[in-house]
A and B are shown apart, each in its own frame.
Chain A
Amino acid sequence: MRCPSLVFLLTLAGCSQDYAMGDGSQPRDTGTSTDGNGGGGGGGAADTGLPSEDETDRLSLRPAQTDVYVFVANPDRDTVTRINVLTQEVKTVRVGHVPNAVVTTPDNLSAVVYNAGGDSVSVIHTDPVTKEMSVDTVDVRDNLNTMSLSPDGKYALLWHDAKGVDVDAGTGGAASYNEVSVVSIVGLSHTAIVVGFNPKGVRFTRDGSRAIVFSDASIASVDLTGASPDTTFIPIADPLNAPSAEEVEIDPAGHYAFVRQAATDALTVVDLRTREVEAVPVGQNPTDLDLTPDGLGAVVVSRAALEVSVFSVADPFADPRVVPFPDDTPFGSVIVGTDDLAVLFTNATPADRYALWTLSGDQIALHPLIKPAASIARTPDGGSLMVVHTSTDNPDGSTPLPYQKKAAVSLIDLSDFRTNTISLSAPILGFANSSDGKRGYVTMVDKPFMEVLHYDTLIYDEVALRSNAVFVGVLPDLDVNDGDQPPAWVSQVHPLGRMSFYDPDDASLETITGFELNGAIEE
């Protein structure tokens, strides 16, 4: 399953929040070309030479939000700023050295900050009555760069992502690439564990009772229910010739971990109860793995084999249902909706089409794209698709002139396939959906605009910002019956910090600038 970024889904169950410098979340759906060096089998003709599917979130320093507040880390000041989106009240607290990631707990009472420069984690508590903030800090291991928070907000795992940016310069002495810091947010305690070399990612069970840290040759299953974390080490591949582990999904019951490995012809299934590991055959070069929203099926896209396989989560070792693609378009990504409809597309090659797959009837219908897709998403109500196009044009020259060599986004009504393709002056940088699912908010690279996409009409509005946009988000709706929609926020480039708040009810925009100065106010 994919996590928030340019590719987004209706449900994020079972997905942890991963925050890091540079690359941010680790890529999880990156199938490789079959002639790569991943150690897998050969690919079909359609997949030969294709690059990986790319869903990497390259944004860093993403703000975190609760129901009312947005938290922004200020790594140059060793502070975190809390902004009340409703009142624009700004408070700043000092945390550890070089805070570069901040996430919030589901109860909206705490923000968890990874201080990369100080090798520590700060927990900012907000008093529910006084709203005053207090900070506790726990030391963690050094040479880490990524933080993953459990869905219940009770644990944060800090690990070293080889694709991330190393903010921590280290001691200049020893360094490990196998260590993970497990921080209890509630107990403010730290436990260091050793996992497989070069961990690729962390997944949690839906109830947060267990974390899975996966590496190429092994997974570490961390039991978080005891007084201290209890780690079980499970080999999943020959350590002498382990394929690259790219994605792990855990079934809702927490019984199985499904591991997708690059350039193989199998899906590795781990029984977390018995520690049994079995490679289940799939088509060549699995490039995407998704659980169906009901959690009953695991969907694997095999790009080289030009097919998609559906496994029963209840009996993952049984033969899967295999559905071939209707033509030789090498779809490598899948998005499974709640309505029996899935979308197949690829961004590894400039394809001029995508496919809609009706799961119950195994029918796959092809639909044209005006330009190749970088990513595709279902709108929250499922009624439309949003296609983020690359600046590359269709290979057959069918891209109309206004869109040639330009970034673009298409809104496609799935009822009648009406399409509004909007030319963009720069690639999309960030995206968020409104709470009612009727709008999307889009920002572009190095552009001072936020585009508001209306999913019902397929029309867009442009909101001018004070400076170039960075991150965009939407607060949850605190009262769904009050008729008001919560504001969207968009952080922008400014040396002293800038954030704007867009009220969709009256299309007004408020901007606060310079909030990083607040940390230096002396009272």
Chain B
Amino acid sequence: MNHRTLLMLALLTTGCGRYDIDPSQYTEEEGLWDPQSALPTDGGLFVRLTRAGDVALLTPGQDTVRVHLDDAEIDSIEAGAGSAVLTRSTEFVCDAGATPSKYVDDCPSDRLTQVGRADLIDASGSVARFDVGAWYGAFTFSADGHFAVAPIDANRPTAGGGLVNLTSVLVIDEETKTSYEVSVGFAADRVIFRNDAEGKAIGMLVLSRSEVANVDLTSQVAVPRATYPLTLDAGQTVTPIDVALTPDNHYALITIEGSGDLYVLDLESPSINIVALAGHPSALLVDPVSDRTYISYKASSRIDVLDHVRFDVETLDVDSATDHLIQGPGFVFAYSRSGALDGYRIDTTTFAVDRYRFTQPPTKVELAPDGTAAIALTATAGVGRLEVADLRQVDGKVDTDVKPFGLDGVGVGLTFAADADGSRALILQDGVDTLYSLSWPSLQVKAVDLPSPPAAIGTMPDGTFYITHQDALGLVTFLDDADNLVEVNGFGQLGMLDRPLLTQEEN
């Protein structure tokens, strides 16, 4: 049995699959691309063409590139690395002798099988492909783009995969273009990479049911260096929720579902210490400068500060509970998305706490790239506002007044980019064709009329904004520093009439 056969997923396609659709009967409303799939890279913006099963690479002012896999349909764009993206796709294989055709829709549904794979794709097409069982969930990428790791998704079928090791994760080494499985623990669902001083991934922690595996990535094939139990009671399930690494990579901090226990794993000399917290943390943030971890709680009006030497907890009392922590330069900003109005700037040197009060509950807060402002989208009863908290310190003091701006609708997207005069935020509103651009610190607001309602917003690596639209044929606008809008449209039609091809079995 060859490897391809082992990974074969015997999912039978049904009569209502997409290949039963007559392309001539296609209507716009069904969408040819996914506006939520946009993924910016150094080489341009990748979007997924849902109809064609391809991706398109969009670059303002240049021709759109359709990246097509001859023998597979791209199902998702997972993440980018440099100018490439990793995609998940499906190959369609028809049983030998079932049909002489090369098209998927010519194969009887009971003879059609699907095989999962992943491809590293750039503008030229697939530069590397990997067999990936359909039972693997979403990939997590190392910051240096070297590794992509996918745990098994318990909600996906393993039928057809032969004997599937349910304690494994799939590791893709994008440098060597190889992939392999590592046994880490049952129901693994979180991965965090350990990097060296140069930012190179050297290991990873994989969280699974009642276990955490510390995997060494420096050897040719990754191996668990140590596996840490989270309980000794076989009848008890301890589910790790969040994980953070101390700046020196010496310790991993792990929160537990429904518990106030914070597990501190010593990764150098494997051992475990449990720090009792005030309750279940709502957010955990490691500040590398002060070498401390900040912990917030939904049910307690406090921020705990954990040192990384003795793991002592110091408590900062605040006026309301928070559930989000954002790292800023020299401070941590804490706020709540659970209805509270307060935000707190916590100085990571003096631990001084400055309280900001928004006029409405925040739904999203972003910091300016230089950390001098926090911009919040707030909403109550369908009334959306943009609120700006000035975080600058003058003579050690801050102005805690928040400056609110009314919006046409409810803000749903917010992104920042630095510009020559400071920074600029773009605010996306639900169902509104107008985009607002707020310059900081001048607080100048510009309205940018969009060609159609936006779907998503983001920033390209060069600082250019991109906006995707709910346009069935494909529409993305790019907004540069000078507020010039460049539209790229119609790319959704690329390959829409192509008949999907069967994958030819290897001999």
Contact = CB atoms under 8 A, between A and B. Distances in A.
A466 interface: yes
A136 interface: no
Interface of chain B, main secondary structure: strand
B225 interface: yes
Given A496-B232, A510-B312, A518 B272 contact: yes
B422 to A, nearest CB: 45
A10 B320 CA distance: 54
A520 B276 contact: no
B229 A523 contact: no
Nearest to A89: B269
B274 to A, nearest CB: 4
A521 B231 CA distance: 11
Contacts of A517: 228-232, 272
A237 B289 CA distance: 76
A518 B226 CA distance: 11
Contacts of B275: 511, 513
Given A89-B271, A514-B274, A515-B273, A523 B232 contact: no
A438 interface: no
A393 to B, nearest CB: 38
Interface string B215-254: 0000000001111111111000000000000000000000
Given A77-B232, A496-B232, A520-B232, A514 B273 contact: yes
Contacts of B224: 522
Interface in B270-287: 270-276
Contacts of B271: 89-91, 515, 518, 521
Contacts of A89: 269, 271
Given A513-B276, A514-B274, A521 B228 contact: yes
B263 interface: yes
A466 B232 contact: no
Residues of A in contact with B, size category:
20 to 34
A99 to B, nearest CB: 15
Interface residues of B, number: 22
A512 B276 CA distance: 10
B310 interface: yes
A516 interface: yes
B239 to A, nearest CB: 16
Contact of B273 (A91, A513, A522): A513
Given A77-B232, A522-B227, A466 B276 contact: yes
Interface in A283-340: none
A517 B226 CA distance: 13
Q: Residue among B225, B226, B232, B310 with the most chain A CB within 10 A?
A: B232
Contacts of A495: 233
Contacts of A76: 232
Nearest to A81: B271
B9 to A, nearest CB: 32
Contacts of B230: 517
B226 A523 contact: yes
Interface string A488-523: 000000011000000000001011111111101111
B270 to A, nearest CB: 5
A516 B229 CA distance: 10
A514 B263 contact: yes
Contacts of B263: 514
B228 A513 contact: no
B162 to A, nearest CB: 26
Nearest to A77: B232
A521 B272 contact: yes
Contacts of A508: 310, 312
Nearest to B276: A466
Contacts of B231: 496, 517
B232 A521 contact: no
A523 B224 CA distance: 8
A515 B263 CA distance: 11
A76 B234 CA distance: 13
Nearest to B236: A495
B169 to A, nearest CB: 17
A511 B313 CA distance: 11
A164 B57 CA distance: 79
Interface in B289-312: 310, 312
B14 to A, nearest CB: 44
A513 B310 contact: no
Contacts of B226: 521-523
A520 B261 CA distance: 19
A510 B310 contact: yes
A523 B272 CA distance: 13
A130 to B, nearest CB: 13
B430 to A, nearest CB: 47
A466 B277 CA distance: 10
Nearest to A88: B273
A513 B262 CA distance: 10
A75 to B, nearest CB: 13
Contact of B270 (A88, A514, A516, A523): A523
A511 B233 CA distance: 22
Interface string A73-91: 0001100000000001111
Given A510-B310, A510-B312, A514-B263, A520 B229 contact: yes
Contacts of A90: 271-273
Interface string A87-111: 0111100000000000000000000
A515 B227 contact: no
Nearest to A512: B273
A81 to B, nearest CB: 10
Contacts of B229: 517, 520-521
Contacts of A516: 232
A76 B233 CA distance: 11
A523 to B, nearest CB: 5
Given A77-B232, A496-B232, A520-B232, A514 B227 contact: no
Contacts of A77: 232
26 contacts: A89-B269, A90-B272, A496-B232, A508-B310, A508-B312, A510-B310, A510-B312, A511-B275, A512-B273, A513-B261, A513-B273, A513-B274, A513-B275, A514-B272, A515-B271, A515-B272, A516-B232, A517-B228, A517-B272, A518-B270, A520-B229, A521-B270, A521-B271, A521-B272, A522-B227, A523-B226
* List of 5 A-B pairs having minimum Cβ-Cβ separation, nearest first: A514-B274, A513-B274, A520-B229, A522-B227, A517-B272
Given A466-B276, A515-B273, 4 more contacts: A510-B312, A511-B276, A520-B229, A523-B226
